[in-house]
């Protein structure tokens, strides 16, 4: 427990830290990686290059500190981040390292303004926040390891097949190298892949949604090829151009909270933009397999026909379902957007909606769904990349 005095120091200094947030986290990451270059095997270098992860980690520490009296209040956010951490193999021993460099960065940027008292208060608060994460992560690791065919951290897989789905999306079928099966997962979950790319000093990690319903034989991920000059493209270009059938790749256990409640039979709508279709495929296939009579809508936005993945698969599932509708809109064509009118025509606002796609796409769709009267608990969404705030109000 933190003392009242510590809590009041934390609360009064949060605004100061937020004001200097970028400076503190820039110093933090630079010093952290200078002292512990091995951590570059875990962190996403592209996020570093764009300064995105900097903001995510620090903002969360500050947000958690504000709720230090009642960390329960931010548990959903902790669980979501913990899933990402577990998928990346973050261990309890990493926390003191991050804590040490965060505190040193606060001291370095604030100088004399950061008194010993203030630094001690933040050390105590960080310790409590770290313990909350470590506890949740331990539970997730145990769950992953104890399920049938489960494991924790990374496991070696091989590429069993590679299938082109559209002009820029390729699916990879991944099987455990030891010939075993893969665990059952919830539709919508993701895995991390870890790769050594020839000529690069550090390993690369990326998360990809599983893009088919749980299947004991294999995982499937479907990867969009990013532009050559995008730092994020390093991995997707390598996967598209170099990684071949028979090659090895390391894979983590399925994780993530953006999942279909497959027990329900109430109306459900899947709304995706571009490669955001991948978790939807897993969810849609699961509905088709388990509850084919469930009222289901699949709305997809693609730029044009050549970039439109999975059309035939969706049509095949539709043929086995009794109450499902599917519509794709091409934004290169006039009226090619999922507008309010399209949503009103297709979405049953008494049910659940799952949304995945680029951030502006999701902001627009979520805004409309709320305006149509849907409640927070009915709207489920996930965006790719670090948790940046969505502007959906
Ligand atoms: C991702 C917070 C500790 C490594 C994240 C994200 C947040 C966050 C908000 C983004 C989540 C998302 O993308 O959905 C925190 C907080 C920590 C903490 C509040 C301490 C209490 C750590 C530690 C490590 C770590 C100890 C390992 C040394 C990572 C990595 C990512 C990540 C590798 C993925 C993003 C990237 O690679 O850029 N964390 N984190 N974090 N965190 Fe943490």
Residue pair 173/163 in contact (Cβ under 8 Å)? The answer is yes
Residue where the block lists tokens 């769950």: 143
Task: Report pLDDT for 18.
Answer: 86
Round to whole Å and give the CA distance between 343 and 356: 15
Q: Which of 29, 126, 137, 382 is catalytic?
A: 137
Residue pair 308/330 in contact (Cβ under 8 Å)? The answer is yes
Alpha carbon 120 to its chain centroid, in Å, reads: 33
Q: pTM for the whole thing?
A: 0.94
pLDDT tens-digit series, residues 188-213: 999 999 999 999 999 999 999 999 99
What atom in ligand 1 is closest to the CA of residue 88?
A: 33
Residue pair 9/118 in contact (Cβ under 8 Å)? The answer is yes
Is residue 376 scored above 60 in pLDDT? yes
154 three-class SS = strand
Could you tell me which of 170, 163, 161, 162 has the C-alpha nearest to residue 307? Answer: 170
Catalytic site includes residue 137: yes
pLDDT tens-digit series, residues 293-337: 999 999 999 999 999 999 999 999 999 999 999 999 999 999 899
Instruction: Read off φ and ψ for residue 350, nearest 5 degrees.
Output: -90, -5
CB count within 10 Å of CB 102 equals 24
Could you tell me which of 93, 118, 94 has the C-alpha nearest to residue 106? Answer: 118
pLDDT tens-digit series, residues 25-60: 889 999 999 999 999 999 887 666 555 555 678 778
Question: Which CATH architecture best describes the domain 154-252?
Answer: Beta Barrel (2.40)
Strand partners, 206: 193
What atom in ligand 1 is closest to the CA of residue 205?
A: 37
ipTM > 0.90, yes or no: yes
Residue pair 284/270 in contact (Cβ under 8 Å)? The answer is yes
Task: Report pLDDT for 47.
Answer: 63
CB count within 10 Å of CB 232 equals 18
pLDDT tens-digit series, residues 248-278: 999 999 999 999 999 999 999 999 999 999 9
Round to whole Å and give the CA distance between 42 and 250: 13
Is residue 62 scored above 80 in pLDDT? yes
Is residue 367 scored above 80 in pLDDT? yes
DSSP string, 312-359: HHHHHHHTT-SSEEEEEEETTSTT-S--HHHHHHH--TTSEEEEES-H
Which of the four pLDDT bands, split at 50, 70 and 90, describes residue 146?
very high
Annotated binding site for heme b: 85
> In testing the pocket of ligand 1, which one of 53, 100, 189 has its CB within 8 Å of the most ligand atoms?
53
> In testing the pocket of ligand 1, which one of 84, 122, 137, 234 has its CB within 8 Å of the most ligand atoms?
84
Question: Which CATH architecture best describes the domain 4-146?
Answer: Orthogonal Bundle (1.10)
Residue 22 Cα, ligand 1 centroid: separation in angstroms? Answer: 16
Residue pair 287/294 in contact (Cβ under 8 Å)? The answer is yes
Task: Report pLDDT for 76.
Answer: 84
CA-nearest residue, atom 10 of ligand 1:
386
Round to whole Å and give the CA distance between 190 and 219: 10
- Report domain extents, the chain: 4-146, 154-252, 268-382
Residue 57 Cα, ligand 1 centroid: separation in angstroms? Answer: 6
Residue where the block lists tokens 């995945």: 356
Question: Which CATH architecture best describes the domain 268-382?
Answer: 3-Layer(aba) Sandwich (3.40)
């Amino acid at each position: 427990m933190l003392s009242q005095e510590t809590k009041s120091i934390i609360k009064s200094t949060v605004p100061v830290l937020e004001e200097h947030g970028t400076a503190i986290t820039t110093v933090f990451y630079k010093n952290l990686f200078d002292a512990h270059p091995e951590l570059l095997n875990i962190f996403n270098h592209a996020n570093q290059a764009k300064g995105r992860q900097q903001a995510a980690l620090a903002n969360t520490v500050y947000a958690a500190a504000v709720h230090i009296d009642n960390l329960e209040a931010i548990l959903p956010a902790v669980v979501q981040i913990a899933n990402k951490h577990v998928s990346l193999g973050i261990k309890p021993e990493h926390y003191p390292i991050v804590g040490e460099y965060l505190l040193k960065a606060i001291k370095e940027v604030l100088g004399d303004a950061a008194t010993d008292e203030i630094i001690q208060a933040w050390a105590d608060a960080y310790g409590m926040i770290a313990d909350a994460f470590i506890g949740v992560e331990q539970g997730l690791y145990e769950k992953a390891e104890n399920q049938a065919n489960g494991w924790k951290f990374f496991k070696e897989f091989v590429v069993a097949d590679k299938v082109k789905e559209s002009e820029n999306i390729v699916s990879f079928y991944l099987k455990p190298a030891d010939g075993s099966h893969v665990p059952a997962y919830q539709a919508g979950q993701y895995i991390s892949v870890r790769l050594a790319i020839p000529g690069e000093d550090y390993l690369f990690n990326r998360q990809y949604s599983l893009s088919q319903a749980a299947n004991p034989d294999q995982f499937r991920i479907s990867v969009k090829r990013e532009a050559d000059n995008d730092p994020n493209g390093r991995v997707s270009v390598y996967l598209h151009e170099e990684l071949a059938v028979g090659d090895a790749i390391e894979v983590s256990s399925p994780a993530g909270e953006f999942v279909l409640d497959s027990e329900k039979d109430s109306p459900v709508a899947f709304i995706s933009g571009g490669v955001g279709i991948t978790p939807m495929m897993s969810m849609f296939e699961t509905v088709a397999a388990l509850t084919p009579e469930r009222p289901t809508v699949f709305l997809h936005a693609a730029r044009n026909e050549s970039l439109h993945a999975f059309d035939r698969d969706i049509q095949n599932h539709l043929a086995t379902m009794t109450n499902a509708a599917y519509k794709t809109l091409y934004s290169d064509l006039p009226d090619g957007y999922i507008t309010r009118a399209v949503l009103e025509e297709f979405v049953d606002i008494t049910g659940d909606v799952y949304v995945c796609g680029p951030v502006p796409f999701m902001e627009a769709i979520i805004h409309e769904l709320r305006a149509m009267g849907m409640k927070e608990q009915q709207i489920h969404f996930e965006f790719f990349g670090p948790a940046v705030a969505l502007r959906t109000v």
